[in-house]
Amino acid sequence: MRNPEELAEDARVTIRRGGAPDTKGRCVVYWMQRAQRAQDNPALNVAIAAANLLGKPVVVFIGLVPFYPNANLRSYSFFVQGLPDIAEGLLHRSVGLVLRRWPEHELERFCQEVHPCLVVGDENPMREPEQWRVAAAHHLRVPFWTVDADVIVPTALLKKEQYAARTIRPRIHALLHDFLTEPGNPKARLPWQQPANLEAHSINDDMLEKFPIDSSVAPVSGFPGGTKAALAALKRFISERLEGYDTKRNHPDVDGTSQISPYLHFGHIGPHTVALAVKNADAPLPDREAFLEQLIVRRELAINFVKYNWHYDRLQSAEPWALRTLKEHHRDEREYLYTEEQLENAETHDPLWNAAQQQMVLSGWMHGYLRMYWAKKILEWTPSPEDAFAIAVRLNDRYELDGRDPNGYTGIAWAMGGKHDRAWGPERPVYGKIRYMSYASTSRKFDSKLYIDRMRMLAGNRGA
With respect to residue 406, please indicate whether it lies within any of the assigned structural domains. Answer: yes
Q: What is the largest CA-CA distance in the chain?
A: 70
In a domain, residue 208? The reply is: no
Tell me which of 293, 308, 323 is where a domain ends: 308
**16 plus 143 within the same structural domain:** yes
Looking at residue 233, which CATH number applies to its domain? 1.25.40.80
pLDDT at 462 over 70: no
Cα(3)–Cα(228) distance, integer angstroms: 35
Same domain, 264 and 358: no
pLDDT over 50 (residue 247): yes
Residues 345 and 425 in one domain: yes
Residue 464's pLDDT is 41
- Angle at which helix 320-328 crosses helix 406-417, to 10 degrees, equals 50
Asked if residue 17 and residue 53 are part of one domain, the reply reads: yes
In this structure, are 361 and 293 located in the same domain?
no
Q: Find the helix or strand (DSSP H, E) in which 15 lies.
A: strand 13-17
324 in the same domain as 263: no
Mark which of 308, 323, 339 sits at the end of a domain: 308
pLDDT tens, residue by residue, 325-354 = 999 999 999 999 999 999 999 999 999 999
Question: Are residues 115 and 233 both part of a single domain?
Answer: no
What percentage of the chain exceeds 90 in pLDDT?
91
Tens digits of residue pLDDT in 203-219: 987 889 889 999 999 99
In-domain check, residue 11: yes
Say yes or no: 366 and 323 in one domain.
yes
Mean pLDDT to the nearest integer, 138-155: 97
Domain that holds residue 105: 4-149
Domain assignment present for 58: yes
Is residue 277 located within the same domain as residue 333?
no
The answer to whether position 206 is within a domain reads no
Average pLDDT over residues 237-263: 94
Return the percentage of the chain with pLDDT > 70, whole number. Answer: 99
Task: For the chain, give the number of residues.
Answer: 464
Task: Kindly state the DSSP code that residue 333 receives in the 8-state scheme.
Answer: P
CATH of residue 45's domain is 3.40.50.620
User: What is the per-residue pLDDT for 254?
Assistant: 84
Question: What single DSSP character describes residue 60?
Answer: E
Pairing of strands 144-147, 13-17: antiparallel
78: β partners: none
User: Could you give the angle at the alpha carbon of 149 between the alpha carbons of 33 and 152, nearest 5°?
Assistant: 145
| Mean pLDDT for all residues in the chain | 95
Other residues' Cβ atoms within 10 Å of the Cβ of residue 4: 24
* Single-letter amino acid code for the residue at 412: I
Determine, yes or no, domain membership for 324: yes
Tell me whether strands 58-64 and 96-101 are parallel, antiparallel or unpaired. Answer: parallel
* C-beta separation of 122 from 43 below 8 A: yes
3-state secondary structure of 398: helix
pLDDT class for 463, splitting at 50, 70, 90? low
Residues 280 and 385 in one domain: no
Helix (H) or strand (E) holding 16: strand 13-17
Please write the tens of the pLDDT for every residue from 80-108: 999 999 999 999 999 999 999 999 999 99
pTM of the model: 0.96
Q: Considering Cα of 427, then 433, then 438, then 442, what sign does the dihedral take?
A: positive
Find the mean pLDDT for residues 111-137.
96
Domain boundary among the residues 287, 308, 329 is at 308
| Residue 31 within a domain | yes
Whether 269 and 396 map to the same domain: the answer is no
Same domain, 274 and 364: no
Look at residue 8 in the predicted model and tell me its pLDDT. Answer: 87
Q: Phi and psi for 286 in degrees, rounded to 5?
A: -60, -35
pLDDT at 3 over 90: no
Nearest to 311 by CA among 214, 424, 412, 192: 412
The pLDDT tens digits of the residues spanning 28-47 come to 999 999 999 999 999 999 99
Q: Helices 385-399 and 406-417: crossing angle, nearest 10°?
A: 150
What CA–CA distance (Å, rounded) separates 263 from 260? 5
The C-alpha atoms of residue 48 and residue 95 are separated, in whole angstroms, by: 8
Sheet holding 144-147, edge to edge: 13-17, 144-147, 116-122, 27-31, 58-64, 96-101
Instruction: Provide the number of structural domains found in the chain.
Output: 3
**Per-residue pLDDT, 1:** 63
